Structure 1
Amino acid sequence: MTSGNEAPRRIEGGRWVVSRAWIMEHTGASAATVARWYGRRVQYPEGLRFPEVACTVERVHYYDQEAVEAFWAAWRQDVGTGRLRRAGRPCEDGKGNHGGEWGRARRDQAVATALEELKHAGGSQRGMATRLTREQGGNARSWQRAVAEARTLYTHQALAGAQPGPEPWRGRRPERDTGSRLRPACAVTYRRGVAGD
């Protein structure tokens, strides 16, 4: 229950100001999304920038209501969202964690780029994701994921080229072969408390 001083909307200095609770109610954004909008406000152009704190009353930040409404209108137009739900994504957009459409296309392009680098280098090299981040731009973690996915594709393509058909170990335990890179399935049973075993 909020006291009279913690109201989500109030008049301060002759203008309406609103709290983050009101912003969450108005936009449908989560508390984390509103905090992210404010925390990263300097990264956005002036028209898409979340408003600055207008006043603080008993440790509750209030923002100019007109500025918040202008921000939300510009954000909806630029990002193309209606009322948000969790984590800044429209409810039931069907995209899951993959980002869908253009996000998945960018990831596929990054994986294709990483795969070409792997083919050019003849396999994986230490620091490849870092180098791709530096050369291509973007997020380092995204390039790490792209290189990992490309490495899997590269390995599967190499196995398919060297040995057509399904992998020889699929569906059964690998045979004991000291020259193989595959480790044999361990058939040794350890017993507790027996000395000399």
Structure 2
Amino acid sequence: MSEDGASRRIVDGRWVVSRAWVMELTGASAATVNRWYAQRDRYPAQRRFPEPVCTVNRTHYYDQEAVEAFWAAWREDVGTGRLQAAGRRPGDGRGNQGGGPGRAQRERAIAVALAELRAAGGYQRGMAARLARAHGDSERSWQRAMTEARTVYEREQAAAAGR
């Protein structure tokens, strides 16, 4: 077995490539390449992502010619306009992804949680539950806010200790 980096190898006299190499070739995200592989049975044979030829250290390798043929057929039939566009767009109100009314609410919750951490001198078990009872919303929402606030608080503490 010959190697050309970790993403491309020669196995039994032919080049095989990993998903990382496929991502470089196509410009697709890891999620897209994983979806091509997981849903390959849904596509006609010419647009079907190839089966692995071998596995090395839990990394699947595919015949390079088969991957290139798949990609050529995919580009011709489907195009590349939707690559890396899987899932929801940023700014759709999901909080951390930016934009939308959810982010402003999340920032307020993080500020409240951060104030609680500062007043208590650090995290204490049950803080998120107490905040949920005192301010409303779900405990899980307050747990997420507390997690972000703890990150900020710990950075502040580390910066203060480094002075």
- Normalised by the length of structure 2, the TM-score is 0.48
Q: Which structure would you say has the larger Rg?
A: 1
- Normalised by the length of structure 1, the TM-score is 0.40
